Amino acid sequence: MTPAHKAAAELLYTSRRTRDKVFGADREGFGEPGWDMLLALAAFGPMVAVNLFHRAAGPNPGTYLNWLISRELVALTERDTVEIAERGRALLVQYLDHEMPAKP
């Protein structure tokens, strides 16, 4: 993942957190905790502590973490950290390439 990919992931993640702050209690239904977890990992990784990773998901983070692991998008390491798996990295790079503005 290039620095531009990390910057794009951080921008997307930060934008989603801003949306949550602005809408407050009305943000119910804007879900996608698994996506938030993957963006957080891409933006702030390559590895993050499990507790930080869980904060990106909100309630019931274990459910989303298990889902991401089962899809081989993230992996647990031996030191209570989470890292993006090769499959997750490849898919996220493909998505971010599509979302990033083309350079002139």
Q: Say if residue 47's pLDDT is above 70.
A: yes
How far apart are alpha carbons 67 and 4 in whole angstroms?
Answer: 27
Q: Say if residue 18's pLDDT is above 80.
A: yes
Cα–chain-centroid distance for residue 1? 13
2: tokens are: 């290039």
For residue 104, is it within any domain?
no
Domain count, the chain: 1
Q: What is the span of the domain harbouring residue 82?
A: 3-99
Could you give the strand order of the β-sheet that contains 74-76, starting from the edge strand earlier in sequence?
47-49, 81-84, 74-76
CB atoms within 10 A of CB 64: 23
Average pLDDT, the chain: 81
Ranges of beta strands (E only) in the chain are: 47-49, 74-76, 81-84
pLDDT of amino acid 103: 61
For residue 81, is it within any domain?
yes
Q: Residue 58 — very low, low, confident or very high, per pLDDT cuts 50/70/90?
A: low
Provide the CATH number for the domain around residue 70.
Answer: 1.10.10.10
Residue 77, CA distances (Å) to 1, 6, 43, 46, 84 in order: 19, 21, 18, 12, 10
Q: Say if residue 15's pLDDT is above 70.
A: yes
The stretch 87-94 carries a mean pLDDT of: 90
Q: Say if residue 46's pLDDT is above 80.
A: no
